[in-house]
Structure 1
Amino acid sequence: MRVVLSTWGGRGDVEPMAALAVRLRERGVQVRLCAPPDEDIARRLAAVGVPLVPYGPSARASASKALPPTESARPPAGEVVARVSAEIAASQRRVLPEAAEGCDALVATGVPAALGGARSVAEKLGVPWVHVTFQQLTLPSPHRAPLAYPGQSYPPGITDVPTLWKLHDRYLNELFGEAINATRAALGLPPAEDVTSFLFGGRNWLASDPVLDPWQGSAEVDVVQTGAWFVPDDRPLPDDLRAFLDAGEPPVYVGFGSMPMKAAADLPRAVVEAVRAHGRRMVLLRGWAGLSAVDDRDDCFVVGEVNHQALFGRVAAVVHHGGAGTTATAARAGRPQVLVPQGADQPYWAGRVAELGIGAAHDGPVPTARSLASALETALAPETAERAAALAGRVRTDGAATAADLVVEQLG
């Protein structure tokens, strides 16, 4: 059996697909992953032996263009998304049909332009396909409001959920319809009239943990919740990092992954001062935000690529941007969290962590030393740590294996 996986986005969009690829290979399936051409993504996939077919613009460069140094230099968010969507779609329709030729199934996630292109290629080739999401907010539901895409806002005072979904669907058509239908036209397929039903009207897999993200939908949407997808990671921590961890009390981890972060120039000092306000040492992930030590004191250790599964088990708290994967990994490790959401689904995860009592949601995307220290006070409280440790045993770890079985049984 041959399966092609497709995504476009940052590390959080790629890592779970790598987890599925690893589990599929264990079942004798030939698999390749179409993803952005970023060097960190290529290195990570090579480390787990997953063949990469690169396409589209760099995810990191695209994020940086969307967040230039000054507010006045930033183009409208919707304009940026539409432009990047067109670039993604144009590259994907050159690469994916050839990559998927002769495959038995296609599993896709990522931004709507890439998702629509993958669904169109599957249609052209006549192979089954599945849409994967790592949180439920993009899936139509009568029980909650939809996710707001960049540049989208709802009229004040409108809280009726069906009305909000109608506005959401209209905006998706305006934002992504042109890119998706350009791909369909190039493949000789008729246009998709409605983006939402086109993307989510078939088979959907919700690759999130049922405790952290309990599905709230209806029978009208075909959804199977598998649990979150983790790459088995047995990489040892670097010797110097282990020595730092062994030299004192568990530190606070701070990392914002593939988020450039607003006001990033002031961010390292704010982070360091906030952690020091609690008398804690810290491990900083350099990441796209460029975190770094601000002086020569020995309470700060800066890392690049590192095994989060091993590291999170040795820290006092995890401060991060609120990506689905990082939230689930910290919960699995039983560590309290502080989420500093930047957008998309991240405010949702921040709210869930706060509701479950396993951490704190930072108020706003730009942390100061004072605001971050205040959030850390909640996360470092003994009762928060107790709740986080208790919840860890309820987080599923077999999501990728479950999904791999579904691929073989339902699509093979």
Structure 2
Amino acid sequence: MAHIVAVTLGTRGDVVPFVALGQALREAGHRATIATHGSLRALVEPAGLGFAALPVEFGADPRTLTSARFARALAGRWLDVGRAVATASADADLLLLGAMGWLGYHVAQARGVPSMGAFLQPLEPTRAFPPALLTTRSLGGWGNLTAARALRLLGQAPFARQTAALRRELGLPRLGPAATFRRMDAERWPVLHGFSPAVVPAPADWPAYRPMTGYWWPPVGGELSPRLQRFLDDGEPPVFVGFGSLAAPGLDRVVDEALARLGRRAVIQGGAAGLATDRRDVLVVGDEPHTALFPRVRAVVHHAGAGTTAAALRAGVPAVCVPFAADQPFWAGRVAALGAGPPPLPGRGLTADRLAGAIESAGGYRAGAAAIARRLATEDGTGQALAEITRRLPVP
């Protein structure tokens, strides 16, 4: 039995796919531990997985999860995070590293055990498209590749000093960011991409050891709350509106006005945006399982986070994407390109008229949404990822 330690930071959507992998590893006879924020413990332990808390939280303001705010929040505790990863992986046989868990690469080197990436966004440089965290406008093949490489290096700058301190504590020689990436490439360091090639066509210049496995779906399950179940049973399928951990000034007002103009039944998830209304045909809910809810709605309005985008595509319902930052514009663009929803509505400058119009037009994208759902139903991303992971475990 091997012990696999997965390291991931971010939001709920950055943890749930790793829980799916952890459960698959456990069913295969291995032991899995997920190292992440202490506030997300409840996602991990009920699944029967080991949990290790990392000493960093991003607070109630989701704006800390974007660009420079994210880097500053995380960089301030980076050395402590590295120490916690080292402690959690004391007896690990392999480290599985999310996009913001790459500090574990240095820990694995010190421990003398293998590591591999497990990314939920297309972060590896490619000529096929521009960096997902930078722009959705192609810069040309050479420009896309160069920009992604530059962004990758620039992203290490806030962490370089504390990474160097961690390497000293681990007894490792100095290795700067550029040298680290050169070493990874020379080692053919594997990266699993937890999304579907049906959604993001696999770039021809990505090597075979960095495959797209398909999505890592959580096990089907989770019951809707009784009040939501009653609401769904009592009328026509509603529109769902939710923005997860994202908040923006005035977003609640725009949503309320748009739904009032439509006059349709709706379910809105309060979330960090504080969505609320006193209209009788709208139900305000907290966390509800997307796997059970989305197939029962007429359209999903969301911020195009990777996890919510995947859940809506899997459900086969049209999506109205309102992206704000980070990888959200990328996923919103993919939804539109697949014909699974109307063109994205950028969060900045969003109006009630535009939102209402997009929701009204969503029905015209039902065939495209159903088509991609049928393709996703044929994939076993978790199974493929499990095979890739176990293939790289040390031989007993």
After TM superposition, the score normalised by the length of structure 1 is: 0.86
State the Cα deviation string for residues 359-387 of structure 1 (Å, max 9, x = none).
02433223321121122133133xx1122
Alignment of 1:411 with 2:393, yes or no, is: yes
Root-mean-square deviation (Å): 2.6
> Distance between the aligned counterparts of 2:362 and 2:159, measured in 1?
39
- SS of 1:245's equivalent in the other structure is helix
CA contact (8 A) 2:5 2:33 kept: yes
Unaligned 5+ runs, structure 2: none
The amino acid that maps onto 1:135 is: Q
Residue in 2 that maps onto 1:342 = 324
State the Cα deviation string for residues 74-124 of structure 1 (Å, max 9, x = none).
xxx53x34422323422222211121112111101032xx31x11111111
Match of residue 189, structure 1, among 166, 169, 172: 172
| 1:161 Cα deviation after fit | 3.0
| 1:220 Cα deviation after fit | 5.0
| 1:407 Cα deviation after fit | 1.8
> Distance between the aligned counterparts of 2:124 and 2:140, measured in 1?
23
Residue in 1 that maps onto 2:41 = 42
Residue in 1 that maps onto 2:234 = 247
| 1:182 Cα deviation after fit | 2.9
Residue in 1 that maps onto 2:248 = 262
The amino acid that maps onto 2:157 is: E
Alignment of 1:125 with 2:111, yes or no, is: yes
Q: Give the share of equivalent positions with the same residue, in percent.
A: 35
> Distance between the aligned counterparts of 2:368 and 2:343, measured in 1?
16
Residue in 2 that maps onto 1:16 = 17
| 1:308 Cα deviation after fit | 0.6
State the Cα deviation string for residues 194-218 of structure 1 (Å, max 9, x = none).
1544667611111101111121141
Higher mean C-alpha deviation, range 89-98 or range 165-174: 165-174
State the Cα deviation string for residues 146-199 of structure 1 (Å, max 9, x = none).
2446xx9x9x99983344245324423434433432322222222333154466
Alignment of 1:7 with 2:13, yes or no, is: no
- SS of 2:375's equivalent in the other structure is coil
Q: Map 1:12-91 onto structure 2 (within 5 A).
A: 12-38=13-39, 41-61=40-60, 63-65=62-64, 77-78=67-68, 80-91=69-80
The amino acid that maps onto 1:322 is: A
Residue in 2 that maps onto 1:322 = 304
Aligned pairs, number: 386
> Distance between the aligned counterparts of 2:260 and 2:366, measured in 1?
19
Higher mean C-alpha deviation, range 230-239 or range 360-369: 360-369
| 1:14 Cα deviation after fit | 0.7
Match of residue 220, structure 2, among 233, 236, 250: 233
State the Cα deviation string for residues 317-338 of structure 1 (Å, max 9, x = none).
0111111111111111110001
The amino acid that maps onto 2:389 is: V
> Distance between the aligned counterparts of 2:294 and 2:256, measured in 1?
19
State the Cα deviation string for residues 13-48 of structure 1 (Å, max 9, x = none).
11111110111111111111000122xx22222332
- SS of 1:360's equivalent in the other structure is coil
Q: Map 1:204-215 onto structure 2 (within 5 A).
A: 204-215=191-202
Residue in 1 that maps onto 2:292 = 310
> Distance between the aligned counterparts of 1:272 and 1:88, measured in 2?
39
CA contact (8 A) 2:189 2:209 kept: yes
Alignment of 1:144 with 2:129, yes or no, is: yes
Measured at CA, do residues 145 and 175 of structure 1 come closer, stay the same or move farther in structure 2, by a change above 3 Å? farther
CA contact (8 A) 2:322 2:345 kept: yes
> Distance between the aligned counterparts of 1:238 and 1:57, measured in 2?
31
> Distance between the aligned counterparts of 1:186 and 1:352, measured in 2?
43
CA contact (8 A) 1:105 1:128 kept: yes
CA contact (8 A) 2:130 2:144 kept: yes
After TM superposition, the score normalised by the length of structure 2 is: 0.89
| 1:398 Cα deviation after fit | 2.0
- SS of 1:342's equivalent in the other structure is coil
CA contact (8 A) 1:131 1:199 kept: no
The amino acid that maps onto 1:289 is: A
| 1:142 Cα deviation after fit | 2.2
> Distance between the aligned counterparts of 2:242 and 2:287, measured in 1?
11
